Amino acid sequence: MPVAVKRVYESASPSDGVRVLVDRLWPRGLRKNVAHEWFREVAPSDALRKWYHAQPELWMQFQKKYLEELARPEKQEDLMRLHMLSRKRKRLTLLFASKNVEHNNATVLRDLLEGMRKPPTGTGPSGLRSVHPRGAAAMRRR
């Protein structure tokens, strides 16, 4: 169930699987059939999008601010729908319009979705507590 990212202007291919646009605005000049679904609510706010566009060198700060936006209660339903879609399908491709193919909101979403699927590693105190209840009790006794 890998999650891929791709510019919406690139041609669709059968290996894309389900194509989901994750931008707030529909890309100019494209028909609605380039994507199977459009999750505009998981896109960055207009203010954050404009801020990052003016300062692309602040990628790390953008990621942090975007993840904070995604943690808001009003984003949770759409984020969970996107997560469920990624779990149901063999392949999910997140589409974006940005010219920056390495640093954009779709790459942040991909990393988030892939992290949601990973089980706890079991290493360290927090991993031990999440994996085994007796491990949590042992950690409290120490």
pTM: 0.78
C-beta separation of 39 from 3 below 8 A: no
Are the beta carbons of 127 and 52 closer than 8 angstroms? no
The pLDDT-based confidence of 119 (bands split at 50, 70, 90) is very low
- 3: which strand partners? 92
Return the closest-CA partner of residue 6 out of 95, 109, 104, 102.
95
Residue 106 burial class via C-beta count within 10 angstroms: exposed 0-12, middle 13-18, buried 19 and up: buried
Question: pLDDT value at position 138?
Answer: 42
Q: How far apart are CA 123 and CA 51, in angstroms?
A: 38
Look at residue 43 and give its three-state secondary structure: coil
pLDDT, tens digit, for every residue of 90-111?
789 999 999 999 999 999 999 9
